[in-house]
Structure 1
Amino acid sequence: MAYDPQQRFLNLVPGGNGIIYTIQADGNLYWYRHINWTTGTPPSWANSGSGRLIGTSWHKFRFVLAAADGQIFAFMPNGDLLWYRYMLSDINTGAGSWHSASGSRIGTQWNFPRVIGGWNNVLYAEDGNGDLRWYKYTGTNGSFSWAENSGSKIGSQWQTYTQLFADPNGVIFGTRHGSALSWFRYLGTNGTFNWANGGVPVDTTILGPFERGLFSNGSGAVYKIKTNTANPPGPDNQLQWYRLLNSETVNTSGVQWASGSGAVVGSGFTRENSAALQGYPTSLSTRQGTSLGIHVSTTFPSYTSSTLRLAPTTGAPVVVTQPTTRTGQFQPLQSGYHSAGCGWSQSFSVSVGTGTSWPSGVYASQLKSPQGKEHNVMFVVRPSTPQRQIAVLVPTNTYNAYNFWGGHNQYTTGQAGAQRTVTMQRPQMGTSWDNFYTTATGIIDHLLYSDLQLFRWMSSKSVAYDCYADTDLHATGANWLRTPSQGGHYKALVLTTHPEYFSQTARDNVVAFQNNGGRIIYLGGNGIYERMQYTADGNAIIFRRPDGSRDVYADSGQSESQILGVSHYQPTYMSFAPYQVRDTTSNPFTAGTGLSVGDTFGSVSYDIAASGWEVDRRQGAVPGSVLIAEGLNTTGGAEMLYVPASDTKGWVFSVGSLSFTGSVPIDTAIQKLLLNVFTQAVA
């Protein structure tokens, strides 16, 4: 068996009338049909629930969509779009045959981060900037033919939706961070801007955040993988059914979910879209001049691996080691892998060099299937000895907290009252997507992509820095995070987009650095907020107290404001706005920016605008602090704060916003301001 029952399917593709095409991790394509798809009860399936094998080698595709007449749209890693049609002869058994033109190429350059739809031959493609584009396939039998206005822009700022999927006749569903399922309906027929309800989403008040495996199968039938709420988690293998009875008229007739929605209608539907090719490093951080193990499981007979430096300058990563062909090895997950780790043996090692060819920074072992499907294994290369005057902390604890691989993380739905132990020895889906390092993801990001935008800009401006992971700050930070007055090397510490989770030891090391004159450059939001612990072997993170409550530092008298000047401000969640200047004379950073009091900046960001998502503000008096700028969010924006050095502490510069780094490559005022910050940091 070349798949793991814990992660059997890469994708579940709806085909209408209860038909579901499932792509197994080994590439086998199976036909299923949920007979009672309109009612959800009883859980009745064609062929007594056994899938019918109708194809092989389907794991080579990035993603697959389908129409209700057997047409299937399959997207290759190189951007080619292939057309297939399964001609069903018996809907009760799945018997049928493939159209003779199946496999025909009907499109090129389909390198979009996300494409949804397929229903009515309409595809909705979202580009890296969050713009939604309309396409309609008008060909027959695999011919290359598209509607005249295909490619027209029909929407913007769709990157706030972490999950998108479509139903027939223009219906689109989406979930945002921390929100329920939203409903849209596109009414246009030729790529014009024409939406029900003026394009304003309708909240369907069902399905919570961080659900997975969502898809719609016609006439409002919505399915998802049920999250196992045991602690430690069991397998997520049950399929749940919902149905929106008025799926095309929600905006005028209200939300009407069918009785019985939420019923479990099938089992064995475990899903992980990376299961054909995936891996993780032995450690998230390695020192220059050492060797790092990479652990890979794949159902492909072979793959290549190369090493990339991800943030040398703007643009494509630098290839540090050329691709090497390796024999594929499928490795099953060990028991209790959510906490204990995947348990895969080491597949190969990366010999990390020194000097200019291997500077400290963020790297990835890039894995590629024979057809070019990618999986990237990120790691940090720290310096053998401190070399620069600026240290950058990569928030790997946050990456792990939000890593949705395996369906469980710090925010697993339904585990109230439970402490969570989450392994770091597993694939990192928040840092591993196809084309992740050269193409924007089309989803707002508070993890690696946003950090890379900052790192690439710093490198392009010759702002030299050494890189460390959160684990380094905990294990050895007292040795390397030291100021010249302590006999150390670093004058400044940079905290990036979302440095939320710190061990007590790591926090203490930052405080000691600051108390000895170290400068803190805080370029994110919701930082140093929650205390976590590492397991004894250092391979997993324990989140929350034993009773399941969050171990927030402020609750123990250690507010993040004691270090950063600002603290987390919850009312502004998922709001976005520019900053407005409040001061240009009492800080050393706004000189030369061209900004005057009252001016705005940061109105454009990859993450919508520079002040937003999660923001920080002063929650009390901060003696000597200077408010440089303030976000114009209606509920209270981020405070860009300067706290000058005192006799006992180094100075602090805080932007107080999760979406700030997304503006760094775009906004010239922010670029000049940051150059001033970094110049002052090493003065």
Structure 2
Amino acid sequence: MQPRRRFSIAIYQQHNDEALTSLSGVVVAATSNVTAKLINGKYVFQSAGDNVPVAFDKDWEWPTITIKPHTPMLESGAYVAVAYEVSPSGEPLTDLGRRCSAHQPVFGWPPDSNDMALLIVRPRRPSASIAYVIPTATYHAYNSTGGGCYYGDPIHRTSPALKVSLRRPGGGLGAQLGEPADPYDPRSPRQQFTHWDAKFIRWLRVQNLACDFYTDLDLHRATDLDLANYRCMLSVGHHEYWSQEMRDHVARFIAGGGNLAVFSGNTCYRPVDFGPQTQHGGIKEMNRLRESWPDFNESDLIGLSYGYGGGKFGVWRRLRGGWVKRKREPIGFTVQQENHWVFAGTGLENGQTFGAEDHLVGYEVDGVPPLSNGFNTLASTPRLVGWEMGGIGALGVYQPELNAGSKQGLVFNCGTTDWARVLIDPNTKSHVVVAQITLNVIRKFLDLGSHHPSRQDSALGDMDTRARDAGEALEDLRDDEATETEICGSPRRQRE
């Protein structure tokens, strides 16, 4: 937390609602340059150190706290730590603090997200069939807190850099961003947990589909995460930045019979490496290696590449009020193989387009290489004229040839960043179709068959009725115990 401040910590979890849920049974203890005092039943922390600005590529070396479970039933999942300032008697000084103190729901978007840090709790041992990998590398790549990131930030006037620190605020929540607001979901900024992964996690919970949660660093190190223990790995939202080690571990997983479900766009497009591990296994920095993989060869792993697709972002005009022309034309996917298992239960027919009214395609979308790599295109977009790259987006199934064997697994790739936005919104016209496709993929990859109960199964009949029903929540299905926590970022506002 910021030096020379007095604060308390509240822990929340992402369940199946937009609002985060207050969590009890977790102990927050002082670790480095922090003192703790129990006042009126709540711990109040006092931080020491110097309040000196630190650059985006340096270890911020802020005072730290340790968060650990006080109950064996704490499940693997996505959690949020909220830091709020308090008086000497422990009374909250802000509206957010008062809500936290009363265990009321909070939301993970600005301005509250500036006081939040994303925590990913790994399982003590594998307890589900799905490994969900949170794309923390992408979160840090776009985060210009401290004066820089991999991109030019026109709002804060920073230039692109090649190295960022992983020891700074903004790794999932509370980032400083130069991105335009998403015109189709303006409440939560892109390149943030709430905009991408929170939506998909909420849908998984409604469908009673349990996951074990990890981060890119877990996939890179392959110490806490052994993909061989899982049937399916999930890559969601905007999983753009990958190390060679991440690619190798996923390739080995697929070659051994594992399945990769990609509900993301611009996936694995840019190569990075991570700095050397500390003596405790931590990683402090991430380095951008080049603009893209040679010959867009990530398509050998996931079937598609952003280099063959396109993106539509908006136009920055400093003298005319910042970002303009943020909307994009309504483009969807046109079906080519109506009888494929991916489309089972959707009612789609060849030549029919879905998702256009909802702007499902974009803001970044991946396409098929011009020379066939064996990707089975099930649906495609028109040529993305006027978009960056200007290719043709695609959705389909792929079986990599690398290390192919008799147990070779499959890759499903939806090819677009905005899949999760439509998946969770029952008011979108293609919501039911997107939800059914997602459910078909996960059932197939887990070998669940049609017997697995889900919220989608109860929404048969008229599409409008199904869209309304799909938003209703079911009781959460809790996993086995989990004790290890990956801190992906720290509250921003209290560090500026």
How far apart are 1:593 and its partner, in Å?
1.2
Identify the residue that residue 509 of structure 1 maps to in structure 2.
249
1:455 matched residue in structure 2: 201
Residues 162-192 of structure 1, C-alpha deviations (whole Å, 9 max, x = no match) = xxxxxxxxxxxxxxxxxxxxxxxxxxxxxxx
Q: Residue 48 of structure 2 contacts residue 63 of structure 2 at CA under 8 Å; is this kept in 1? A: no
Contact 1:610 1:661 in 2 (8 A): no
Matched, 1:383 2:106: no
1:678 aligns with 2:417: no
Cα 1:502–1:645 shift into 2, 3 Å: closer
2:465 aligned partner: none
Judged with a 3 Å threshold, the aligned counterparts in structure 2 of structure 1 residues 665 and 509 are, in CA distance, closer, same or farther, namely: same
Alignment check: 8 A CA contact 1:502 1:531 kept: yes
Q: Secondary structure at the match of 1:670?
A: helix
- Measured after TM superposition, the shift of residue 390 of structure 1 is 0.9
Counterpart CA distance in 1 for 2:4 and 2:63 is 15
Structure 1 residue 306, shift from structure 2 partner: 1.0
Determine if contact 2:162/2:288 at 8 Å carries over to the other structure. yes
Quick check: 1:577–1:631 contact (8 Å CA) kept in 2? Answer: no
- After TM superposition, list the pairs within 5 Å mapping 1:294-443 onto structure 2: 296-297=1-2, 302-310=6-14, 312-321=15-24, 324-329=42-47, 331-333=49-51, 337-346=55-64, 348-352=65-69, 357-369=73-85, 370-373=93-96, 374=112, 375-412=115-152, 420-428=162-170, 431-432=173-174, 442=187
Checking the alignment, whether the CA contact within 8 Å between 1:532 and 1:541 is kept in structure 2 is no
Post-superposition offset of 1:406: 1.7
Q: 2:335: which partner in 1?
A: 582
- How many Å separate the matches in 1 of 2:216 and 2:419? 21
* CA distance in structure 2 between the aligned counterparts of 1:676 and 1:621, rounded to whole angstroms: 29
In structure 2, distance between residues paired with 1:350 and 1:598: 53
Point out where structure 1 has 5 or more consecutive residues left out of the alignment.
1-295, 435-439, 483-488
SS class of match (2:60): coil
Identity %: 23
* Alignment RMSD: 2.9
**Separation in 1 of the partners of 2:189 and 2:329?**
12
Q: Distance in 1 between matches of 2:124 and 2:24?
A: 20
Select the structure of larger CA radius of gyration. Answer: 1
The alignment partner of 2:95 has SS state of coil
297, 305, 319: which one pairs with 1:567? 305
User: Compared with structure 1, are the counterparts of its residues 515 and 586 closer, same or farther at alpha carbon in structure 2 (3 Å cutoff)?
Assistant: farther
Shift of residue 600 of structure 1? 2.6
Q: Displacement, 1:577?
A: 3.3
**What amino acid does structure 2 have at the position aligned with 1:432?**
G
For residues 308 and 490 of structure 1, the distance between their equivalents in structure 2, rounded to whole angstroms, comes to 27
Q: Quickly say closer, same or farther: Cα 1:330–1:409, change in 2 above 3 A.
A: farther
State whether residues 218 and 225 of structure 2, in contact with CA within 8 Å, keep that contact through their aligned partners in structure 1.
no
- CA shift, 1:682, in A, is 0.5
**3-state DSSP of counterpart to 2:47:** coil
8 Å contact from structure 1 (residues 593, 673) kept in 2: yes
> Closer, same or farther in 2 for the Cα pair 1:404/1:433, shift >3 Å?
closer
Amino acid at match of 1:442: R
**1 CA distance for matches of 2:130 and 2:74?**
17
Count of aligned pairs between the two proteins: 363
Deviation at 1:337, TM superposition (A): 4.2
1:433-463 deviation line (CA, Å, top 9, x unaligned): 89xxxxx753552431211101111111111
CA distance in 1, matches of 2:412, 2:128: 19
Q: C-alpha distance in 2, partners of 1:518/1:478?
A: 18
SS in 2 for 1:679: helix
- 1:540 alignment partner, one of 277, 284, 303: 284
**Cα distance in 1, alignment partners of residues 367 and 223 from structure 2:** 28
Residue 227 (structure 2) pairs with residue 481 (structure 1): yes
TM alignment of 1:260-279, pairs within 5 A? none
Tell me the SS of whatever aligns to 1:455: helix
Q: Provide the C-alpha distance between the structure 2 equivalents of 1:354 and 1:471, rounded to a whole number of angstroms.
A: 26
Partner of 2:190: 445
Could you tell me the TM-score, scaled by structure 1's length?
0.49
Decide whether aligned partners of structure 1 residues 472 and 633 sit closer, same or farther in structure 2, where only a CA change above 3 A counts. Answer: same
Aligned CA distance change for structure 1 residues 379 and 468 (closer, same or farther; 3 Å): same
Give 2:210's aligned amino acid: A
**Cα–Cα, structure 1 residues 459 and 429, in superposed 2: closer, same or farther, change >3 Å?**
same
Kindly indicate whether the alpha-carbon contact (under 8 Å) linking 1:337 and 1:343 is maintained by their aligned counterparts in 2: no
Deviation at 1:532, TM superposition (A): 1.2
Change (3 A) 1:622 1:516: farther
- What's 1:650 paired with? 409
Match of 1:99 in 2: none
Counting only pairs closer than 5 Å after superposition, residues 54-203 of structure 1 correspond to structure 2 as none
Query: Contact 2:2/2:62 (CA < 8 Å) preserved in 1?
Result: yes
User: What amino acid does structure 2 have at the position aligned with 1:567?
Assistant: S
- Give the residue type in structure 1 aligned to 2:379: A
Distance (Å, rounded) in 1 between the aligned partners of 2:309 and 2:211: 32
Residue 600 (structure 1) aligned with residue 361 (structure 2)? no
Aligned partner of residue 168 in structure 2, secondary structure: coil
Picking from 367, 376, 394, the partner of 1:617 is: 367
- Structure 2: tracts of 5 or more residues without a match: 26-40, 86-92, 97-111, 177-184, 314-327, 386-390, 426-430, 448-496
2:472 corresponds in structure 1 to: none
2 CA distance for matches of 1:327 and 1:564?
46
Helix, strand or coil: the match of 2:23?
strand
Aligned-partner Cα distance in 1 for 2:444–2:2:
47
* 1:405 Cα deviation after fit: 1.5
Indicate the residue corresponding to 1:665 in structure 2: 424
Please give the alpha-carbon distance, in whole angstroms, between the structure 1 residues aligned to 2:48 and 2:421.
38
The one-character-per-residue Cα deviations of 1:196-222 (angstroms, maximum 9, x if unpaired) are xxxxxxxxxxxxxxxxxxxxxxxxxxx
- In structure 1, what residue type is equivalent to 2:294? A
